[in-house]
Amino acid sequence: MEQARQVALITGGLSGIGLSAAIQMLERGVAVCVASTRAGTLEAKSTSASIDVAASAGKTDWLMCKLDVQDTASINNTVSRIANELGPINILVNSAGVYCHEPISRHDQEIWNISLAINLTGPFLMTRAVWPHMIKKGQGRIINIASTASHRGAENYAAYCASKAGLLGLTRVTALEGAGVGILANSISPSWVDTPMMAASLGSLAKTYSKSISSMYEEAKTSNPQKRIIAPQEIAQQIVWLALDAPVAITGEDILMTGGAIW
């Protein structure tokens, strides 16, 4: 009997962890929607070549959608397009995220609201939108990208830490509600990962502490017992395993990927 077609929606799919996950899933034969607010830009066009190569290797299809995870109309349009062009979604990777580096005493409320809207409310809205498609498919796999900061906290990152901590709670509730209908939900909490977001974050820290960006990179490396920065491809490997290969008993879990770091 032929295995049912696997269809994934990956938010934040044009860079970092999301892009790496998209490429690895395509190579495994999964049909993928790469979703991002930057779809249609020059950056998106330059990235399309590597996505095409992965899709060809996996003999599968892909599409790119402009998606704003804060906007329910944008979400619904994207989910409907995927269902029409690729089939019902059974894999959701909530990788889109933002950060801000501000102390609580001077924290801008609008930035706080945007951070929670993208990092926490966005995954909730995405989960709600794909749920009926997963029920129809009889299977669902939801992977949320959290952070070590959701466990330990990080000075001057109140909105980021709060939103990612909330994502852990959302993941557990999703797992409980999905347990009886074949939907699994897990999160991954990395430490420093070599992504554009990390580069921007270290740039902000460098300005705050009057240090060079290169010295901030060295500090990030030395905070990892393995003395290195984690590659986005490593996080993607874990995403793909959870989506395609993990036992069904693994749900409601948060998987730390830190190279041994405890922060």
Give me the active site residues, please: 160
Largest CA distance in the chain: 62
Q: What letter represents residue 242's amino acid?
A: L
